[in-house]
Structure 1
Amino acid sequence: MSAVDSVLARIPQPYRSLAIQHRELLKFGVVGAITFFIDTGIFYALKLTILSPKPVTSKVIAVLVATIVSYVLNREWSFRTRGGRRRRYEATLYFVISGIGVGLYSAPLWVSRYVLHLQTPFTSRLVEEIADFTAGQIIGLLVGMAFRWWAFRKWVFPAEQPDRRPSARDRISAR
């Protein structure tokens, strides 16, 4: 019995079928939680040290690192029963969609800082930190996560096997 199955077995019956039906979403959420902590840790480590004058750059770097971890965890756990594409093609799609996600994750922080001027000297350091966290770690995360969930299921890890020509190895092993 897998760890997920043992957790599902402890859920009260009325909710168990709902959890089983949305198992993939729950796994995606767990991966998201793990990468949220990676993203947040790197973001603040950079923002409060070597990249203090460049919070958007700090955010982009943090999201990129979290995205690499996310690909591995999603490929091997959340969506392991989906796909069927060649790994190179799948990884390319994943990182293109994640690149769009980086823009979506970073846009609210950029708006907060450079459009609304929620930064020192225009506001206090406390307001700046609250605005950065709200824009970068909450709003950006929710917008980016919703987009990535939809796009990953539609294009990167589709439910049906994509049509593809058999590889040389497939043709040889079919003989």
Structure 2
Amino acid sequence: MADVVLAKLPGPLYARALRHREPLKFAVVGGAAFLVDNTVFYGLKLTVLEPKPVTAKVVAVLVATIVSYVLNREWSFRTRGGRERRHEAALFFLVSGVGLVLSSVPLWISRYVFLLETPAVRLVTQEIADFVSAQVIGTLIAMVFRFWAFRKWVFPDDEARSGGIRPAPVPDSTEETEEAD
């Protein structure tokens, strides 16, 4: 599927996207997890966990993390590995736990240090502050950390599950090809 999309890109963009395929896939999975996170976060925050936004955020991140594990393992890092599945999953959830803390800290600071909550501020201000702190700042901080940590500890060996088959190298568009005589 990704190869079909990549094949439609112009030459130089295709070569660049192919070289950065893993981070691009990680970003797509992150986008899907972001949608899950937002849906669960606001679903809980606006209903049963209205007075507990940090708890709603924690639950949302946990659900999004489960989705993220499956998609990252089977798509983003499908050729990487090097660990027994249980060990890999444990490390994934440990790293994601650190990501959970990192993504929740900006919301906690917004609410309980800067006091950006009703009645001290208007409801619209509270909601904008919650979105920016939890869904933008927290997500970005956690995303950068998780990508680095997943590659370093969870899926450390490149081509571990590819059977040793590597994709053909992409020719550099700046190199000139020599024709055989």
TM-score > 0.5 by shorter chain: yes
Structure 2 residue corresponding to 1:114, chosen from 94, 100, 112? 112
- Which SS does the other structure have where 2:17 is aligned? helix
Displacement after TM superposition at 1:160 (Å): 4.8
Question: Following TM superposition, where does structure 1 have runs of at least 4 consecutive aligned residues deviating by more than 4 angstroms?
Answer: none
Q: What is the letter of the counterpart of residue 82 of structure 1?
A: R
Q: Counterparts of 1:160 and 1:23 in 2: how far apart (Å)?
A: 13
Partner of 2:68: 70
| Aligned positions, number | 160
Mapped to 1, the partners of 2:88 and 2:96 lie a distance apart of 12
Deviation larger for 152-161 or 131-140: 152-161
TM-score calculated relative to the size of structure 2: 0.86
Q: CA deviation at 1:161?
A: 7.9
- Give the corresponding residue for 2:90: 92
1:19 aligns with 2:17: yes
- The 3-state SS of whatever aligns with 2:145 is helix
Counterparts in 2 of 1:67 and 1:6: CA distance versus 1, 3 Å? same
Give the aligned CA root-mean-square deviation in angstroms.
1.1
Write the deviation string for residues 59-86 of structure 1: whole angstroms up to 9, x where unpaired. 0000000000100000011001001210
Among residues 141, 145, 148, which one is paired with 1:147 in the alignment? 145
Q: What are the within-5 Å matches in structure 2 for residues 131-170 of structure 1?
A: 131-160=129-158
In structure 1, distance between residues paired with 2:158 and 2:8: 31
2:163 equivalent in structure 1: none
2:105 aligned counterpart, secondary structure: helix
Partner amino acid for 2:50? S
Q: Which has the higher helix share?
A: 1
Please say if residues 79 and 157 of structure 1, whose CA atoms lie closer than 8 Å, have aligned partners that are also in contact: yes
Counterparts of 2:10 and 2:93, CA distance in 1:
38
SS in 2 for 1:46: helix
The structure with higher relative contact order (CA 8 Å, sep 6+) is: 2
Q: Distance in 1 between matches of 2:153 and 2:45?
A: 33
> Is 1:101 aligned with 2:99?
yes
